[in-house]
Chain A
Amino acid sequence: MRKRLIGLLTVYLLLSPTLSGCWDYVEYEDLAQITALGSDYNPQTNEITITIQYPSIKRTKSGGAGGAETGAPEWVVHSATGQNTFDAMSKLQEIVPQRLFYGYIKVFIVGEEMARYKLWDLFALVDRTPVMRSSAYIAVAEGTAEYAIKTIDPSQLSAGDKIHKLIQLIPESGSASAVTMNELLEDLAIGGLEPSIPLISIEATTDNLSGKTGQKQSGEGKKDEKAQEPQGKQATTDPHKEHPGTLRIGGMAAFHGDKLVGRLDDRESRGVNFIRGKKIHAYKVSEAAGETAVDQLYFRILESKSAIKVRLENGRPTVAVTIGVKADLRKYYGHEGADFLFGEALDHIEEKLAESVRGDVEAALKRGQGELRTDIFGFGFALYRKYPRAWKEEFLEQWRDIFPDIPVTVQINAKVVNVGITTRKLYIK
């Protein structure tokens, strides 16, 4: 009996230090729960700046953790510059009085220079760090990530939260596609597929920005020549200070490998999304025939899917893209057109929708295949799936040279599944 008691006591004493779990204990309010992390690179100094944003959490009188005190900012933004990402992160810990916790990052924001030269420094870190969630989104900021994160948006949301929400709403506009860090890693690792990442721009909204009131500082339609002007849009304001502005997501940054090669505008981005079969619930407008645009049709896209088929003809790949689009009609001709919408009238409407989608797709192909010469569509991946051996032996190494010249045919199957809540057009007396 005594031996048994001694044995049990020994087991208890030996096990007790392993059961306490106190080595990893940390108070909730002692954590800086970072929700957005920005990364910038300065090619002149070869330094990296990391910007973090986290909610301000104070201990309440009752002893528990609570939100920010009245009047105090609800989130905190800090930046630090170092020789590399880790160095900058260490410097951040020197100024933040809480333990930096990266597990709640919702969005990684990358400055243009970082995206152009040093993106691997960030994704290699996220790839290996268990606490950083690769399910967080990634976006490229026009100019610097620091400037984007230090934007005070009229929505009252922190920049990180707003960008996160905008990314979640991307299918509603179709002008970009949401990309998580894990999806970026997949795109980087998979042969015959190049990454494209949503683009953040900041539009001035108040008089505070040195005479830039109401002007769009950055936005759609910018091409490579604009991309060559690092931090251009911050020229009128201090990029290191918080400043008012409206964050916007539209357009995509196109990559070749881990290097930014150019931007796609809203239309081109939508075209890429149609080709890749991404979820799009955007409004779509048909091309107007006349100046008054009275004959323009509005659609709400309900569903889009695509099939990329690759064939080898005489050893040369050819691509056939079939895109299926289902949409509701939202606006018909003001004065003209059929009374009831069926038969030929419906065919005509669907034709107009297909024409509109084709315009986006052709713009995307022109930009991605013709100008940027990067396979953001995944044609190479489709070729690999159809001919794995031929891909490995003949195409893998030379794909960048072959890709711009492969013929691509596009077929759009548009279907208008309903015509809204009326069956006949409105006759204006």
Chain B
Amino acid sequence: MLENVKLTREQVVFLIFIGALGNMVYSHTWIDDATDRAAWVATFAGILLVIPLAVWILFLGKRQPGRTVFDMLEAGLGRIPCAALCLLYIVLNVGLAVAMLNMFTQLLKSFFILFTPAWASMLFMVFMAVLFVNGGLKGFARTAELLTTLGMLNYFVSFINAFPGFVHIEYIWPIFDTTLVDFIKGALFITGAAGECLLFLMIIVAYIPDAGKRYMWIVVSIGSCAVVFSSAILVIIAMMGPELAKRIAFGGVNAAKIIQIGDFLRGLEVFIFGTYQFIAIGKITICLYCAWMAGQKMLHGWKPGLQLLSLAAIILATALWLNSYSEAYHLAVLLDGYVILPFSLLVLLLASASIFLFRKETGNTK
């Protein structure tokens, strides 16, 4: 059931920021064949394209304040269509969490804890997510502020050392060496990937006070995400060239491994690892929270604790069953490239129609 909380500007900005980053931090390389050197520009444009959809959700929130998008759907379309969409929404969130959990666990296993079994890392991550979700949205939002700040600090500490020795202008100039069609394809994929934040926004719109007046919160959040993430890709391309950058499995961690300071500091991947860890814990928590809220909507708040544990167990079991970086990468590509955006558009269209129907039924013409 909905908590009685109101999120602050900073909390919304940081939550949406983490929500947008998500699986994109691994799956962004999917567009590199098409976009080549312009990958970072396509990423920047692709993330910004999420803003209109996010604003659309706030607009719906303005119409029906204090309600999630699924509350709106239920009010207009009835229980069964809403339950069907909730079920799809849960599957999507579980899929995203499973992909993130696997990719992060394999990052850990590749670079840091080779012999630690995957279940141990996954169990730890899922437990952390359960604790955060169980602690309530407000508490998680405050943690997200802290984690995002630390993550960004780590990111800058690492990549600042790439300048100027490891950055090659000739790898990024000229910027465009691709066709417009390929560029648009790449940008749209990233829109889908960053669109993961829309799934979260569909729920937390209920906790944004005066949602109709808070468009700039979303613009700032998604805009920051676009700047930070596209600049990370720009630095990676500048460090290793687009040809090698498109092959990397773990984004910034791969790039930071090259950075060397003197003879003794060889590789700063541990800093970027911190950033990836915060993104992973944040994203898995968000997915679990979203799935839990949708589950409560479907089951009308029946045994929320049991639902939370069940969803966590499903995520953990599915992630352990998959237990593969490559499979998880392709799952993320499938969801980001072909599912998130169509699903979000469908839900938003139905929610808009639902509000229209609801207003018609109640005779409210405002």
B binding-site residues for A, Cβ under 8 Å: 110-117, 120-121, 123-124, 127, 131, 170, 173-174, 177, 240-241, 243-244, 257-260, 266-267
User: How close is B129's CB to chain A, nearest CB, in angstroms?
Assistant: 13
User: How close is B39's CB to chain A, nearest CB, in angstroms?
Assistant: 15
Stretch binding the partner chain, chosen from A9-17, A43-51, A413-421: A9-17
What interface size band does chain A fall in? Answer: 20 to 34
Is the pair A18, B173 in contact by a Cβ cutoff of 8 Å?
no
Closest to A168 in B: B263
Extra pairs beyond A11-B131, A23-B120, A385-B173 (9, CB < 8 Å): A14-B127, A18-B123, A18-B127, A23-B115, A135-B266, A182-B240, A182-B244, A186-B244, A385-B170
User: How close is A32's CB to chain B, nearest CB, in angstroms?
Assistant: 16
B124: which of A18, A133, A134, A185 is its contact (CB, 8 Å)?
A18
A24: which of B116, B241, B266 is its contact (CB, 8 Å)?
B116
Q: List 22 A-B contacts (CB under 8 A).
A: A11-B127, A15-B123, A15-B127, A18-B121, A23-B116, A23-B117, A23-B120, A24-B112, A24-B114, A130-B110, A130-B111, A134-B257, A180-B258, A185-B244, A186-B240, A381-B170, A385-B170, A385-B173, A385-B174, A388-B174, A388-B177, A389-B177
Distance of A11 Cα from B126 Cα, bound (Å): 12
Is the pair A17, B120 in contact by a Cβ cutoff of 8 Å?
yes
Residues of A within 8 A of B117 (CB): 23
Is the pair A189, B243 in contact by a Cβ cutoff of 8 Å?
yes
Residues of B within 8 A of A6 (CB): none
Distance of A389 Cα from B176 Cα, bound (Å): 10
Whether A190 sits at the interface, judged by CB under 8 Å, is: yes
Whether A21 sits at the interface, judged by CB under 8 Å, is: yes
Whether A19 sits at the interface, judged by CB under 8 Å, is: yes
Residues of B within 8 A of A392 (CB): 177
Closest to A189 in B: B243
Distance of A130 Cα from B267 Cα, bound (Å): 11
User: How close is A39's CB to chain B, nearest CB, in angstroms?
Assistant: 21
Is the pair B113, A135 in contact by a Cβ cutoff of 8 Å?
no
Interface string of A131-160 (1 = CB under 8 A from B): 001110000000000000000000000000
Residues of A within 8 A of B124 (CB): 15, 18-19
Residues of B within 8 A of A130 (CB): 110-111, 257
Closest to A384 in B: B177
Residues of B within 8 A of A385 (CB): 170, 173-174
Residues of A within 8 A of B111 (CB): 130
Distance of A392 Cα from B124 Cα, bound (Å): 48
Residues of B within 8 A of A135 (CB): 257-260, 266-267
Distance of A214 Cα from B120 Cα, bound (Å): 61
Residues of A within 8 A of B266 (CB): 133, 135
User: How close is B196's CB to chain A, nearest CB, in angstroms?
Assistant: 26
Is the pair B113, A186 in contact by a Cβ cutoff of 8 Å?
no
Distance of A19 Cα from B128 Cα, bound (Å): 12
Residues of A within 8 A of B131 (CB): 11
User: How close is A193's CB to chain B, nearest CB, in angstroms?
Assistant: 10
Closest to B128 in A: A15
Distance of A389 Cα from B174 Cα, bound (Å): 12
Q: When A11-B127, A190-B243 are in contact, do A134 and B113 touch as well, CB less than 8 Å?
A: no
Residues of A within 8 A of B241 (CB): 186, 189-190
Is the pair A133, B170 in contact by a Cβ cutoff of 8 Å?
no
Q: When A135-B257, A385-B173 are in contact, do A189 and B244 touch as well, CB less than 8 Å?
A: yes
Distance of A17 Cα from B124 Cα, bound (Å): 9
Distance of A385 Cα from B244 Cα, bound (Å): 17
Determine which residue in A19, A190, A389 has the highest number of CB atoms from chain B within 10 A of its CB, and name it: A190
Distance of A256 Cα from B259 Cα, bound (Å): 27
Closest to B121 in A: A18
The total number of A-B Cβ pairs within 8 Å is 63
User: How close is A399's CB to chain B, nearest CB, in angstroms?
Assistant: 15
Residues of A within 8 A of B110 (CB): 130
Q: When A18-B124, A182-B240, A189-B244 are in contact, do A133 and B177 touch as well, CB less than 8 Å?
A: no
Residues of A within 8 A of B240 (CB): 182, 186
User: How close is B170's CB to chain A, nearest CB, in angstroms?
Assistant: 6
Distance of A190 Cα from B127 Cα, bound (Å): 44
Is the pair A21, B116 in contact by a Cβ cutoff of 8 Å?
yes
Q: When A133-B257, A182-B258 are in contact, do A24 and B115 touch as well, CB less than 8 Å?
A: yes
Is the pair B267, A133 in contact by a Cβ cutoff of 8 Å?
yes
Residues of A within 8 A of B116 (CB): 21, 23-24
Is the pair A18, B243 in contact by a Cβ cutoff of 8 Å?
no
User: How close is B204's CB to chain A, nearest CB, in angstroms?
Assistant: 26
Distance of A18 Cα from B119 Cα, bound (Å): 9
Interface string of A6-40 (1 = CB under 8 A from B): 00000100110111010110000000000000000
Residues of B within 8 A of A389 (CB): 177
Is the pair A21, B258 in contact by a Cβ cutoff of 8 Å?
no
Determine which residue in B121, B240, B259 has the highest number of CB atoms from chain A within 10 A of its CB, and name it: B240
Closest to A389 in B: B177
Closest to B179 in A: A389
Distance of A19 Cα from B257 Cα, bound (Å): 25
Distance of A185 Cα from B244 Cα, bound (Å): 8
User: How close is B175's CB to chain A, nearest CB, in angstroms?
Assistant: 10
Closest to A11 in B: B127
Distance of A130 Cα from B109 Cα, bound (Å): 10
Residues of B within 8 A of A17 (CB): 120
Distance of A11 Cα from B309 Cα, bound (Å): 12
Is the pair A21, B267 in contact by a Cβ cutoff of 8 Å?
no
User: How close is A182's CB to chain B, nearest CB, in angstroms?
Assistant: 5
Residues of B within 8 A of A14 (CB): 123, 127
Closest to A135 in B: B260
Interface string of A208-230 (1 = CB under 8 A from B): 00000000000000000000000
Question: Which residues of chain A (273-311) have a CB below 8 Å from chain B?
Answer: none
Residues of B within 8 A of A21 (CB): 113, 116
User: How close is A9's CB to chain B, nearest CB, in angstroms?
Assistant: 14
Residues of B within 8 A of A186 (CB): 240-241, 243-244
Distance of A74 Cα from B170 Cα, bound (Å): 43
Distance of A2 Cα from B113 Cα, bound (Å): 37
Residues of A within 8 A of B170 (CB): 381, 385
Q: When A135-B266, A189-B244 are in contact, do A24 and B174 touch as well, CB less than 8 Å?
A: no
User: How close is B15's CB to chain A, nearest CB, in angstroms?
Assistant: 25
The 3 residue pairs across chains A and B that have the minimum distance between CB atoms: A189-B243, A388-B177, A18-B124
User: How close is A393's CB to chain B, nearest CB, in angstroms?
Assistant: 12
Determine which residue in B123, B241, B259, B267 has the highest number of CB atoms from chain A within 10 A of its CB, and name it: B241
Distance of A134 Cα from B240 Cα, bound (Å): 11
Closest to B123 in A: A18
Residues of A within 8 A of B257 (CB): 130, 133-135
Distance of A25 Cα from B67 Cα, bound (Å): 50
Interface string of A366-397 (1 = CB under 8 A from B): 00000000000000010011001100100000
Distance of A133 Cα from B254 Cα, bound (Å): 10
User: How close is B315's CB to chain A, nearest CB, in angstroms?
Assistant: 15
Closest to A15 in B: B127
Determine which residue in B170, B173, B267 has the highest number of CB atoms from chain A within 10 A of its CB, and name it: B170
Distance of A90 Cα from B114 Cα, bound (Å): 18
User: How close is A57's CB to chain B, nearest CB, in angstroms?
Assistant: 17
